[in-house]
């Protein structure tokens, strides 16, 4: 049974952390291969499972150290049917992968039951297609029908909420939010942007958030930005109603564009202290932000500096 599905604790405005760039950390810093960049494929292997567990334990401990809650992600970003062919997986295998991943993070929540603040189980859903270079536009109705499958799988578990992570299109986000509402799951939308602060479709972030809220009657719990460096979008942020719908940041450590990152054979982990100072600058401008973590190239070092910076 879920603990927070009916009332997400981060909506109180209290400090919550997330993890960072799981895949890039394990691949580049620990030499662990991840098939098709799909982290759920590591869970059936005891060594892979323990590697993810140890990675997440670092963030669980950090959250407790700083009296913060934690949004604990499932490893299901690519555990949906678009990737079935690449993963050589059946629908049943993907269904089971979603169940197993949530059970895995639920075990970790139990392991850290002594944490002083809430640990929220978050079912992560990636876009239908490449998050760096979407192959095609997806209509809202089509997206609703497509994402309803994985959302239904996650709704069967202990998960407290779902997050549309690294989404590139507002219409796809609209469809996913509608599917989540039908399944009775709280939903967060996290958009990614290019170096100009716009979604890969060219749509301004402001318009994307507005479109989702208008089409779904504000059903999204809140919005986030992930998989982009602060330099790529901080100039479009402002104190206005649409920006106040953003509650969290999960930035890349690198200033490289998505195209450059896609072709990069070495890890660009940036400067953790500089990244943290940029988070601090943004939170000064947007003091309602309360969910902080990292994305590609970042790890526990970065989020440690970030929490130090945002808590003063």
Residue labelled with tokens 């910076």: 309
CB 191 within 8 A of CB 227: no
Predicted local distance difference test score (pLDDT) of residue 87: 98
Instruction: List average pLDDT for each run of 10 residues in the chain, which is 312 residues long.
Output: 95 98 97 97 98 98 98 98 97 98 98 98 96 83 98 98 98 98 98 96 97 98 98 96 98 88 83 98 97 98 98 92
pLDDT value at residue 266: 84
The dotted CATH code for 9-310 is 3.20.20.330
Model pLDDT, residue 218: 98
Q: Residue 159's pLDDT is what?
A: 98
Q: What is the pLDDT of residue 270?
A: 95
Distance, CA of 196 to CA of 204 (rounded, Å)? 9
Q: Does the model's pTM come out above 0.95?
A: yes
Question: What is the structure's pLDDT at 262?
Answer: 75
**Under 8 Å between Cβ of 183 and 162:** no
Strand bridging mode 69-73 / 119-125: parallel
């Amino acid at each position: 049974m879920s603990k927070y599905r009916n009332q997400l604790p981060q909506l109180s405005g209290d400090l919550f952390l997330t993890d960072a760039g799981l895949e890039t950390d394990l691949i580049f810093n620990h030499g662990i291969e991840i098939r098709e960049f799909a982290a759920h494929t590591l869970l059936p292997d005891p060594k892979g499972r323990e590697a993810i567990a140890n990675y997440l334990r670092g963030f669980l401990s950090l959250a407790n150290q700083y009296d913060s809650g934690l949004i604990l992600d499932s490893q299901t970003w690519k555990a949906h049917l678009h990737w079935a062919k690449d993963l050589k997986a059946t629908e049943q295998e993907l269904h089971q992968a979603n169940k197993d991943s949530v059970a895995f993070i639920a075990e970790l929540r139990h392991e850290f039951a002594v944490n002083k603040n809430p640990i929220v189980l978050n079912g992560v859903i990636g876009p239908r297609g490449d998050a760096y270079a979407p192959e095609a536009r997806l209509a809202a109705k089509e997206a609703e029908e497509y994402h309803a499958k994985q959302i239904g799988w996650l709704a069967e578990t202990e998960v407290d909420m779902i997050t549309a992570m690294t989404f590139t299109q507002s219409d796809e986000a609209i469809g996913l939010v509608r599917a989540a509402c039908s399944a009775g799951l709280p939903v967060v939308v996290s958009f990614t942007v290019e170096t100009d602060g716009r979604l890969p479709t060219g749509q301004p972030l402001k318009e994307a958030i507005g479109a989702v809220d208008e089409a779904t009657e504000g059903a999204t719990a809140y919005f986030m930005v992930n998989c982009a460096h602060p330099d790529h979008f901080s100039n479009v942020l402002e104190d206005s109603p649409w920006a106040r719908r953003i509650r969290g940041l999960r930035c890349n450590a690198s200033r490289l564009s998505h195209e450059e990152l896609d072709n990069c054979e070495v890890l660009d982990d940036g400067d953790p202290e500089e990244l943290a100072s940029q988070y601090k600058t943004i939170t000064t401008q947007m003091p309602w932000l309360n969910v902080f973590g990292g994305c590609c190239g970042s790890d526990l070092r970065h989020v440690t500096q970030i929490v130090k910076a945002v808590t003063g």
